[in-house]
């Protein structure tokens, strides 16, 4: 890869974190939807994985933010219109917010609903509960926040994928090559 090509792409670490977090988020959406109609024991087991992966998403997002602050991202494609560049920046900021807010709200929900029991991380270790109340109003607030933020993330995800496909298939501007590891 030439120096110019290397400068136009995100770093390997950023690319790896992007795709790992994206796959974990997609898996958590699927797991939550699938668990809805399961018998209680199976649902609770699947939700244990959902919570553990949510905590992993939270930790990896913090790592991704640190990475972003210490590694300059490549410049946006020069062919982008001003509104596309602005929308890209807003979308990225919203993604970072939601990648923190969704698992934090889920952690708060678990903490309130379980009355302070820790989150089991794949039965390997426990993550302490957040110091929140366990009353119905607090539990309801965290439940609502978790669902609203997750819904917003799903909408943003659809927008993000649609924009990436538009740039790749219609504009043919190289935007996807910045983040897709197998594209040169």
Per-residue pLDDT of 24-82, as tens digits, reads 999 999 999 999 999 999 999 999 999 999 999 999 999 999 999 999 999 888 888 99
Instruction: Supply the pLDDT for residue 7.
Output: 61
Going from the N-terminus, what domains does the chain have, and what CATH number goes with each? 3-178 (1.20.950.20)
pTM for this predicted structure:
0.91
CA dihedral 44→50→56→58, nearest 10 degrees, is -110
- What is the residue-wise DSSP string for 80-140? S-HHHHHHHHHHHHHHHHHHHHHHHHHHHHHHHHTTSPPEEETTTEEEPPPS---SHHHHH
Give yes or no for a contact between 55 and 103, defined as CB atoms under 8 angstroms apart.
yes
Instruction: Give the model confidence (pLDDT) of 115-165 as tens digits.
Output: 999 999 999 999 999 999 999 999 999 999 999 999 999 999 999 999 999
Instruction: Give the number of C-alpha atoms closer than 13 A to the C-alpha of residue 9, restricted to the C-beta side.
Output: 18
Rounded to an integer, the average pLDDT of 111-115 is 96
Residues in the chain: 184
| DSSP for residue 172 | -
């Amino acid at each position: 890869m030439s120096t110019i090509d290397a400068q136009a792409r995100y770093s390997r670490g950023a690319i790896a974190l992007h795709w790992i977090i994206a796959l974990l988020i997609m898996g958590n959406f699927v797991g939550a939807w699938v668990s809805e109609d399961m018998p209680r024991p199976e649902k609770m087991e699947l939700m244990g994985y959902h919570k553990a992966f949510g905590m992993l998403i939270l930790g990896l997002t913090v790592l991704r933010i640190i990475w972003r602050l210490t590694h300059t991202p490549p410049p946006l494609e020069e062919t982008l219109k001003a509104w596309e560049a602005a929308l890209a920046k807003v979308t990225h900021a919203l993604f970072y917010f939601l990648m923190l807010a969704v698992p934090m709200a889920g952690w708060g929900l678990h903490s309130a609903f379980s009355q302070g029991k820790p989150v089991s991380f794949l039965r390997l270790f426990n993550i302490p509960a957040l110091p929140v109340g366990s009353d119905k109003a607090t539990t309801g607030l965290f439940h609502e926040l978790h669902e609203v933020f997750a819904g917003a993330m799903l909408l943003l995800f659809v927008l993000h994928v649609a924009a990436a496909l538009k740039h790749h298939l219609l504009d043919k501007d190289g935007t996807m090559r910045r983040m897709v590891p197998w594209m040169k």
